[in-house]
Amino acid sequence: MGLTSDFLKRQAGAFVDKGINSLLGGIFGTNQGAADGFSIERMVGELNKSGYASSSHFEVFIHGGKAIGEQELRFRVDAIDLPGRNFGLIDHKFTNIGPVNRIPGQQFYSDVTASVILSEDMREKEYFEWWHEKICNTGAYETTATYAAEDAANEAAATAAEENMVEFEPIPSKYNRSYSNSPFTQKYFDSYIGTVVIRQYGHNGELRSIHTLNEAYPHQMAPISMNWGSEEPAKMQVSFAYRNYKAVFNRQDQPGMGFGFSFGLGAGGLKLGARIPGIGNIGFAKGAGLSADLGGLSKKIFG
């Protein structure tokens, strides 16, 4: 009876192990992962293979306000969001019985907020004030009095042209007066939309991805904090609305380091070192023992 009981236990254990391995293999796409178990070497090897994205390696190109100053802005945006998207969910039943399915509906794009370091004369703020003026005659950047001065100059030029019997050529306006001189008048959508391009780079300066916000415009300029007790540069937060975005990715694994070996002999004695792809660096020094650096996971093995 004892032998039969032990046999049944072993069979049951093997059956359970096989079922777990099969389940894990189904999750990971193959039974190999479950068979190999957890491997820190494979994890580090994969991280070394594709590297990681640095949040500080980027530049931003903004187009849509006025051409003057746009190139300088790329060196003033010190923080920005990469765009995101979510789907509105609709409750729907594909069958008459059973739970409700939630299916994706309309797309929604989250605002992208940029932080801009301001020049001493705040020309960056002037740029976005001008852009807001293109959206709506805000009354902050361009005023009716400014328009009146230009109108008076044009009227005088028209009168002089008539007296001299020459063709009248209007004086070009310095301001955005394409549609209306009235304060707080909304402009046409196509007249103020632009693009925002976010370029992300790898650690060696290679271009890795480009996100382009289409039909973008700054819908919010946040208040700027000024403080006598602070020496920090003044910054402004600008939030962009946009219709959608395009994303382009340049996938490329990190260059392989290959095997390496080194040794040295000095006052401290013999030093040995080895680099093993997918594992990391292993070193030996007299008095310090053997140690390993597995892609940032350092561990002294013995010594």
pLDDT digits (tens, 9 = 90+) for 109-129: 999 999 999 999 999 998 999
CATH number of the CATH domain containing 88: 2.30.110
pLDDT tens digits, one per residue of 255-298: 555 555 565 665 666 666 666 655 556 666 666 555 555 444 43
Whether 293 maps to a domain, the answer reads: yes
Instruction: Please indicate, yes or no, whether residues 190 and 274 belong to a single structural domain of this protein.
Output: no
pLDDT score for 112 = 97
Domain residue limits at 291: 257-303
Instruction: Please indicate, yes or no, whether residues 187 and 221 belong to a single structural domain of this protein.
Output: yes
- Any idea what DSSP says for residue 136? B
Instruction: Please indicate, yes or no, whether residues 95 and 212 belong to a single structural domain of this protein.
Output: yes
- Counting the structural domains of the chain, the total is 2
Of 230, 249, 268, which residue is a domain's last?
A: 249
Instruction: Please indicate, yes or no, whether residues 97 and 136 belong to a single structural domain of this protein.
Output: yes
Instruction: Please indicate, yes or no, whether residues 184 and 279 belong to a single structural domain of this protein.
Output: no
C-alpha closest to that of 172 among 195, 150, 203, 200: 150
Lowest mean pLDDT: which of 74-78, 104-108, 145-149, 156-160?
Answer: 145-149
Average pLDDT for the chain: 77
C-alpha closest to that of 86 among 103, 108, 61, 60: 108
What is d(CA 230, CA 227) in angstroms, rounded to the nearest whole number? 6
Q: What's the whole-model pTM score?
A: 0.61
Instruction: Please indicate, yes or no, whether residues 113 and 206 belong to a single structural domain of this protein.
Output: yes
**Comparing 200 with 302, which gets the higher pLDDT?**
200
Whether the Cβ atoms of residue 254 and residue 51 lie closer than 8 Å to each other:
yes
Whether the Cβ atoms of residue 303 and residue 291 lie closer than 8 Å to each other:
yes
What is d(CA 57, CA 54) in angstroms, rounded to the nearest whole number? 6
Instruction: Please indicate, yes or no, whether residues 271 and 129 belong to a single structural domain of this protein.
Output: no
> 159: part of which helix (H) or strand (E)?
helix 144-163
Whether 7 maps to a domain, the answer reads: no
Question: Residues 225, 228, 230, CA angle at the centre, nearest 5°?
Answer: 70
Whether 265 maps to a domain, the answer reads: yes
Instruction: Please indicate, yes or no, whether residues 63 and 203 belong to a single structural domain of this protein.
Output: yes
Whether the Cβ atoms of residue 112 and residue 80 lie closer than 8 Å to each other:
yes
- pLDDT of 1 over the 60 cut: no
Whether 66 maps to a domain, the answer reads: yes
What is d(CA 100, CA 24) in angstroms, rounded to the nearest whole number? 29
- Any idea what DSSP says for residue 187? P
Instruction: Please indicate, yes or no, whether residues 199 and 284 belong to a single structural domain of this protein.
Output: no
**Comparing 68 with 217, which gets the higher pLDDT?**
217
